[in-house]
Amino acid sequence: MASSITRIQLGRATLVLMLAALTMIFIYVPTEADQGVVQRIFYFHVPSAWISFGAFALVAIASAFYLWLGDQPWDDLAYAAAECGMVFCTLFIITGSLWARPIWGAWWTWDSRLTTSLILWLLYVGYLALRNMADDTPQVARFAAVVGIVGALDIPVIIVSVRLWRTIHPSVIVTREGGRGLEDPRMIATLLVAVVAFTALFAWLLTLRVCELRARSRLNDLRREFALAEAAAGGR
C-alpha cells in the first residue's frame, strides 16, 4: 500500500514538473538569436541524452551486482532501466535529427557523436531483443548482464567524441567556442527545470516497471514451487 502511494505521489510530482518545463520551454524562455524557434528542441534533446546515459549506466551497475550476488532484484532493476533508457535514447536521437535538419541541412550525418550514439542505441536494442526472445532463465540473465555492462562502455566515448574526432556537433552547451552559448539566465533555468522534469519522469517509469518485473518474478517463483509440489505429490 505504501509503495502504491509513493508511486502515485511521484506520478503527480512528475506531471507538475513536466507542465512547468513545457511552460518554460514554449512561453518563458527567449528565442535563440542564431537558430530561432527550432533551438527549443534543445530543451528536450539534452535532458533525453543525459537521462539515457544515466539509465544505461544504471543498467551496467545493476548488472554488475547481479553477476556478483546473483540476486533477482538486481536483474529486474537492470532490465527496467534498459527499457526506460531506450525510451529516452530514442527520443534523444529523434530530437537530434529534427534539430539537425534546419541547422545542418540534413536529417542525419555520420558525425562522430551521432554515430557513437546510434551504436549505443543498437547495443541496447540487442540487449532488449535478447531478453524478449530468449527464455527467462538465469543463464540468459547473466549473458544479458554482460551485454548491459559492455554497452555502457560506449557512453564515455560519446561524451568525449567531439574532442577525439573532427565533428560538427557542439562540444559544450553553456558556452560555445567563439560564440555565446546559453547567455540568458532564463535558458539555463529552463534547461535545469527540463532536466529535473525528465529525471522525475524516468524515475516514475522505472519504479512502475521494476514493480511489474518484481511481481512477475514472484509469480514465476510460485509457479515453480507449485510445479515441484505437484510433481512430488504425483510421485507418491
In the DSSP assignment, the letter for residue 183 is -
Look at residue 138 and give its three-state secondary structure.
helix
**Domain presence at residue 5:** no
The pLDDT assigned to 178 comes to: 44
Residue pair 100/109 in contact by the 8 Å Cβ criterion: yes
The cell for 57 is 549506466
Domains in the chain: how many in total?
Answer: 1
Low-confidence residues of the chain: pLDDT under 70:
1-5, 162-182, 220-221, 223-236
| Domain membership flag for residue 18 | yes
**2 is a domain residue:** no
Each residue's pLDDT tens digit, 46-57:
999 999 999 999
Q: The domain containing residue 114 runs over which residues?
A: 13-26+39-171+182-234
**Secondary structure in 3-state letters for 21-34:** HHHHHHHHCCCECC
Contact 203, 10 (CB under 8 A): yes
In a domain, 70, yes or no: yes
Over residues 66-101, the pLDDT tens digits come to 999 988 899 999 999 999 999 999 999 999 888 888
Tell me the H-state helices in 70-153.
Answer: 72-104, 112-133, 138-152
What's the grid cell of residue 33? Answer: 538569436
Give the per-residue pLDDT at 164: 66
Q: Is residue 33 domain-resident?
A: no
The reported pLDDT for the residue numbered 113 is 83
Q: Tell me, what DSSP letter sits at residue 109? A: -
